[in-house]
Amino acid sequence: MDLLAVVGILLFAVGLMVSIALHEIGHLVPAKLFGIKVTQYMIGFGRTVWSRRRGETEYGFKAVPLGGYVRMIGMFPPEPGGNANELRQSSTGLFQTMARDARNASREEIGPDDGDRVFYRKIWWKKLIVMLGGPAMNIVLAIILAGGVLMTFGNPDKPVYDPVVSVVSECVVPASQAEEAGDDCTGWPAAPAAEAGILPGDRILAVDGTEVSTWPEVSDAIAAAGPNTVDIVVQRDGAERTLQASLILAERPDPDGEPGDVLETSFLGVQPTFQHFEREDVAGTLAWTGGFISNTAEAMSRIPQRMVDVWDAAFGGAERSAETPVSIVGAGRIGGEIASADEFTGGQRVATFVMMLASFNMAIALFNLVPLLPLDGGHAAGAIWEAVKRAFARVFRRPEPQPVDVAKALPLAYGVAVVLIGMSALLIYADLVNPVRLLG
């Protein structure tokens, strides 16, 4: 592994840790603003590697850098029929015991002067803001990172091509048979551009009498000319030349269709020279963000199926698709691949690196919004349910309900936690034995 790859891995690891740290700050800041007592702010899990106490909060790093947490006192309300200082032990059932143990652990953190500083006593909208603060921080960070790339480097989905010929096709192969033909032109007709004498480096100035200055104009002029013999004016070595090309109809990939779709259109047989990516303004960036969020959410909805693919790749020798999720280990390896890839220029390395970090932040945010404990969305769902109950009580003039007891959902939370740990272990193993390869 070369030095650039190592640097890429380290930089991406640092980027992910900063993203996790900012996620937890998204919880920490509103919690402190609303008067909730926060005893710990930690990056990672397991044994504490380093920590410092500032006021009532301990800040530090844990040994396993796979996440982070903010510990707030009083996450669970007293058991029904009890109070903050006296918890009723009403059942010895497994699930009830889980909830009771969690309440007891929560109660032990509450000091004699902390009665109004516990999480469960805060009004529902404050709870909601605290729990959504983390995902919101990741979404903002993702938009800032992606927006910086879109407005400086340009939109990777909008390449701008100069009307200078980069490649001249030797023959005409239908798009539906391109894979079978490969680079062999035997048996296929010569491309019109090759027959006309067009060379790489020629700048196309006009097609069939229509002046052109951009590649889209070249494409439109070729399509409008149809299967006819047309004049192609090019600039070569500072001089203009007029060449005659006999355009033909050919199967080409449909740029507006699904992968594999083809259409029949006029064909010349030239490829343009890449110039740069089109830069977006603020409005364009915001418009792009909607699709960014939608695409990320759609990708996450396919995670169950993708995990089956990961299993097959890890234990069945199947090819690992670039569409499968990766762990922090896999993400770091991809960061190293980007940093050391000869295919990328320096600017492309930075842009690809930053866009991937933006994608991870968006994925972290949307994943945490899933309304299941122990994810942030589970606590947020509890706050919303509490708002519904209070509104119902006001409308029907009933007594104000008690805070929603999310401790009752702890058995489900433990189950979700086991699934998440299993997924993480599978992804890490797959990323070690059969990693995703960004560049093939």
Pick the catalytic residue from 24, 280, 337, 386.
Answer: 24
- 266: its two tokens: 């006029």
Beta bridge partners of 64: 45
Residue count of the chain, please give it.
440
What is the rounded distance in angstroms from the CA atom of residue 120 to the CA atom of residue 107?
11
| CA 42/CA 24 separation, integer angstroms | 8
Q: Residues 373, 377, 383, CA angle at the centre, nearest 5°?
A: 95
Helix, strand, coil proportions of the chain in percent (round to 5)? Answer: 50, 20, 30
Q: Which residue has the tokens 């932040």?
A: 361
Give the tokens for residue 133: 């603060």
Identify the helix (H) or strand (E) that includes residue 288.
helix 282-301
Residue type, 230: V
Instruction: Report residue 50: phi and psi, to 5°.
Output: -155, 140
Active site residue 108: no
Nearest to 15 by CA among 349, 346, 351, 331: 331
Q: What is the largest CA-CA distance in the chain?
A: 94
- Backbone phi and psi for residue 299, each to the nearest 5 degrees, phi listed first: -65, -40
Helix (H, G, I), strand (E, B) or coil at 293: helix
End-to-end Cα, the chain, rounded Å? 17
Catalytic center residues: 24
